[in-house]
Amino acid sequence: MSLVLLAFGIRFLLYSFLYNPWWCLPIELLQGVTFGLFYATMASYASIVAPPGTEATVQGLVGAIFEGVGVSLGSLIGGTLYDQQGGSFTFRMFGIGSLVLCLLHFIIQRLLGKSLNYVIKAKGSYVAHFTLPPDEFRYNET
């Protein structure tokens, strides 16, 4: 996820400094990297944190929230900022925000470590056991 946030931050910052619209074409090459990595990471995290037997349901729910709520709110907030502040400001703020979140995510992942285990219990009986999602492209080995 840190890599995804870094790629988004770079991409948005590059857009914020554009003066020639033709430079959008090389920057758009990052779209495949950012969206492809993000969607794969999102689905992987959803699968890892889902209780056994509910992986597909959780992946579908996360995807629906991203495509529905995320895209809707992003369009509303981004469009409002773009209208009021201009494109350069909007892309610069989202770029800086992505880089800040990238750094924050990286630090939290290092502080928490990769071996925090959680056990969910219902009325004293064992229900589910799962591990925090590892960094991108590493699989849960428990």
pLDDT in tens, 3-15: 888 888 888 899 9
pLDDT in tens, 46-92: 888 888 888 888 888 888 888 888 888 888 988 898 889 888 898 99
Tell me the mean pLDDT in the region 106-120.
Answer: 67
Of the listed ranges 85-99, 112-126, 128-142, the one predicted with least confidence: 128-142
Task: Report the 3 state secondary structure along the chain.
Answer: CHHHHHHHHHHHHHHHCCCCHHHHHHHHHHHHHHHHHHHHHHHHHHHHHCCCCCHHHHHHHHHHHHHHHHHHHHHHHHHHHHHHHCHHHHHHHHHHHHHHHHHHHHHHHHHHCCCCEEEEEECCEEEEEEECCCCCCCCCCC
Of the listed ranges 60-64, 93-97, 121-125, the one predicted with least confidence: 121-125
